[in-house]
Amino acid sequence: MATKCIDYNFQEIEPHWQSFWEQNRSFRADNASSKPKYYVLDMFPYPSGAGLHIGHPEGYTATDIIARYKRAKGFNVLHPIGWDAFGLPAEQHAVKTGTHPATNTAANIVNFKRQIKALGFSYDWERELATTDSQYYRWTQWIFLQLFAKGLAYVDERPVWWCPELRTVLANEEVIDGKSEVGGFPVERRNLRQWVLRITAYAERLLADLKDVDWPDSTKRMQEAWIGRSEGAEILFQLENTALGALKIFTTRPDTLFGCTYMVLAPEHPLTDALTTTEQKADLASYRKKSAGKSDLERTDLAKDKSGVFSGAYAINPVNGQRVPIWIADYVLMGYGTGAIMAVPAHDERDHEFAIKYALPIVQVIASGAGEPPLPYVGDGKLINSPGYDGMAWPDAKKTITADLAARGVGKPTVNYKLRDWLFSRQRYWGEPFPIVWVNAADYATAKRAPGNTLPESPVTFIKDGVAHYALPVPASALPLHLPDVQSYLPSGTGESPLANVTEWLEIWFNVATGAAVPATHVRPLGDQWVHARRETNTMPQWAGSCWYYLRFTDPAADQALASPEALRYWGVPDLYVGGAEHAVLHLLYARFWHKVLFDLGVVPQSEPFTKLFHQGIILGEDGEKMSKSRGNVVSPDTIIQSHGTDTLRLYLMFLGPLDAMKPWNPNGIEGVHRFLQKVWRECVGREGEVNAKIADTVTDSTELIKLLHETIKKVGDDIEGLRFNTAISQMMIFTNALQKAPHVSRRTMQTFLQLLAPFAPHLGEELWGRLGGAPGAATIMNVPWPQFDAATLHSSEVKLVFQVNGKHRGDQMVAVGLSEADALATAHAHPRVAPHLEGKTIKRIVYVPGKILNLVVE
RNA sequence: GCCCGGGUGGCGAAAUGGCAGACGCUUCUGACUUAAAAUCAGAUUUCCGAAAGGAAGUGCCGGUUCGAGUCCGGUCCCGGGCACCA
């Protein structure tokens, strides 16, 4: 049922079809279907207060085109949307205004939903979800319990940004040039008790399985680099003060061991205090203070000045017994390797710079093939100054020296990863509470004895003021553990989250078997299952909810599992996942990790979550700069929908350039695609709103038009599959230009074209389809099978042959397909534009590519 | 700094190693109109030329090839990520 409007009145047409789809539940995905399934997923948005950014509809339009196209191709399509709704901005807003983050988040979701609906995306809204919904985070907490039970979650002291003035932990983003974003106060690195997930246990698989996924190469390479596998050796250096034992270092270059002239410990290394001689203590203390204010990025920057202090202590080089001074410098990180290195200034840039600065000796042990290389030399070569190994190629020496050290028990080959365990807790309010309580040793022992407990092999503990606290999980049956209301959203001031102030919730009598809780101020309930406990006050980071939402979409109402096994088996994982490249590492790596854990548990049937991945590019402002409020170059989708309509916006976003490119916004381009849609309208609809008189059932289209139609069917189909929407649109424009020139056109041809256009401009597609009379049994264009192209019509008997002389284009001519080389040559000689360039010349070489090119190399 | 991208007309771009600039925008000219808008037709890389035509041209330097925007080496510039922004 098309509208009655006379002109292309998108303000009437678009809402009309949107309510049609909604009433008919047109995009409902059925969990039981005989059709093949296709699951296409967008990275779900964080519902910020600013509303939808123009970058959102870019990626969402791309997946919507795919979803609509796949439906027309006969697939049962799952195309869901939801809200990644925990996060820092809602919390900051709450701190500022006192509004509950849930209230603020709900309002933002309403706004986002309105905007997304106005864009006409074919989402199955019956599967909408939000990570902040307790029925959702119940399962986020459940997954955490599995990680905990498997020993993949532990507690450790980790450095975080701390602002003494604000008495709060700050996110990296809230620290600008070493000052707090709010107030500009100094900040420092401070150790706090944190939950950490053992992602490193999966490093090898996360690396190896990258070969199985269809992802952009750049993203795979970034993940590879992030995991950062390197083979080397752990080597023990005996300390001169034998009472302190040995120093364990990691190196990727054991072959350069004879060039080690000093050693470096990270300032956080546990041995530093014991090592440092009395006269060096003061230096160390002040140095530590300085480096505490630096990020890892600043510490390891090759361009930054290196600094360090001498500890006063020495170690013994295991290969030659030499005394090696031990330095403490922050260019070595505690989080990588063993937090200690052997420095080889002749063959490492940072070591070299450091050695020059502090006048430490430099010994070359790798010779380049030719002459004296400038130091540091990091290239290929053979060993020198290494008694017993001289002349050996360095990769061989690496193996041999490592083996020799291993034989003596002072070293072993090791694989090391840059990947560090995942810091998984935040000292914030607006996140999933950990389903964990802390109890004393005796109560933990009681719980451990209980049959069917889900405790890890070794207990997770921390010690505070000499007392050990043991982590006890809240039983899965007691989930969700609700986020309690708080008086203030400001952190407690001690580094703990605002939850630490909710005494009633925090200090409890805890039932070990059921997970029930009673405030500790009440009388202890009867029964020996009740123990005194303190709840975990940390919350989970935003990543938690986004690590598994794609699974929940398959069965969003499931209450016995995160999704039913049947749904997980039917829908599997997304066939296509589209989102920004800014997620290339973190989100995608974390989700892969969780998925593999769930795979190992038998919850999901496949080991990788995202088989095919694509990144949409960023849309810049009109000025070519990143869109931002402060620059005043932000474009809102609402404005464009008002002025030109959703179909125009969708088409424009896709026409702008390749989906993965970064592209500036151009208001003139909007007019261009709008004109194109107007032109399509005029080809279908006459002045009074009637069907255009040039369209008729009795018309036979010209061979050229039919050929072009089939070329267009092929190109649009191929381009959608390849996510090349810009060139698909060009082809449709070319076809429309041809339509315009044709005096008559068959209804059939026009309808076929509308089918091609419909995934891009669905409202206009439906409207014009309806006006042309639809087709039997197809009130909506979406129910019509995608057109097939006829290869026979694409075949032609003539092709254009290009003539080149010495590689330069000199002319071209239509020739018969399969023309012989001799005939091609004769044609070239006869060609008025080519012949002059051949006159009086000797042809030295003929390159003939039939149907393409004839290149004549002449003297 | 490290990792990952990208540099093609006035602009967004297109081009299985084979006609560089499709398609769209912009600007200009013309038609229609009393006029304007809309629409339609044409032109729109640079240089030489009245034209026909010719030459140069895909950030820069070099290489491979009959032929390079495309492949290789180097270099400059711009952008994204860097573990608590999402």
User: Between the CA of A483 and the C1' of B82, what is the distance in angstroms?
Assistant: 32
Using a 7 Å CB cutoff, list residues 58-87 of A near strand B.
84, 86-87
| Residues A326 and A315: beta-carbon distance below 8 Å | yes
User: Between the CA of A433 and the C1' of B1, what is the distance in angstroms?
Assistant: 38
Of A90, A93, A79, A85, the residue nearest A134 (C-alpha): A85
User: Between the CA of A620 and the C1' of B7, what is the distance in angstroms?
Assistant: 17
Nucleotide nearest to A806 (CA to C1'): B66
* pLDDT score of A738: 94
The total of other beta-carbon atoms located within 10 Å of residue A40's CB is 24
CB proximity A680–strand B (7 Å threshold): no
Helix residue ranges, H only, A34-186: 55-72, 88-97, 101-118, 134-149
| Residues A799 and A814: beta-carbon distance below 8 Å | yes
> Using a CB cutoff of 8 Å and minimum separation of 24, what contacts does A551-556 make?
A551/A598, A551/A604, A552/A82, A552/A129, A552/A136, A552/A139, A553/A41, A553/A78, A553/A80, A553/A82, A553/A127, A553/A129, A554/A31, A554/A39, A554/A78, A555/A31, A556/A80, A556/A127, A556/A128, A556/A129
CB proximity A464–strand B (7 Å threshold): no
Nucleotide nearest to A85 (CA to C1'): B86
User: Between the CA of A853 and the C1' of B17, what is the distance in angstroms?
Assistant: 13
Say which DSSP state A121 is in.
-
User: Between the CA of A443 and the C1' of B34, what is the distance in angstroms?
Assistant: 98
User: Between the CA of A859 and the C1' of B61, what is the distance in angstroms?
Assistant: 29
* pLDDT score of A371: 65
* pLDDT score of A369: 67
Angle at Cα A252 formed by Cα A350 and Cα A231, nearest 5°? Answer: 145
Using a 7 Å CB cutoff, list residues 533-592 of A near strand B.
541-542, 546, 580-587
- Which positions of strand B lie within 7 Å of protein CB atoms? 1-6, 11-16, 18-20, 22-26, 38-41, 53-56, 66-68, 79-86
**Amino acid identity for residue A759 in this structure:** P
Region for A74 from its dihedrals, namely left if φ exceeds 0, alpha if ψ lies in -120 to 50, beta otherwise = left
Using a 7 Å CB cutoff, list residues 615-674 of A near strand B.
618, 626, 655-658, 661-664, 666, 668-669, 671-673
* pLDDT score of A62: 95
Closest residue, by C-alpha, to the C1' of B79: A662
* pLDDT score of A612: 92
Angle at Cα A559 formed by Cα A553 and Cα A562, nearest 5°? Answer: 45
- Which domains occur in chain A, in start order? 153-197 (no CATH), 229-417 (3.90.740.10), 433-535 (no CATH), 796-858 (3.10.20.590)
ipTM entry: 0.92
Separation of CA A405 from chain center: 42
Closest residue, by C-alpha, to the C1' of B25: A669
Using a 7 Å CB cutoff, list residues 738-757 of A near strand B.
740-741
| Residues A68 and A725: beta-carbon distance below 8 Å | no
| Residues A474 and A535: beta-carbon distance below 8 Å | no
| Residues A549 and A84: beta-carbon distance below 8 Å | yes
| Residues A383 and A389: beta-carbon distance below 8 Å | yes
User: Between the CA of A659 and the C1' of B8, what is the distance in angstroms?
Assistant: 18
pLDDT means over runs of 10, chain A (859 residues): 89 96 94 94 90 89 96 96 91 88 94 95 97 97 96 89 81 75 81 90 91 86 84 91 89 92 90 88 85 71 73 92 92 84 88 88 83 73 89 89 93 87 90 96 90 89 92 95 90 85 94 93 92 95 93 96 96 93 84 95 94 88 73 83 95 92 85 95 92 91 93 95 94 95 93 96 96 74 91 81 86 84 87 81 86 85
| Residues A543 and A426: beta-carbon distance below 8 Å | no
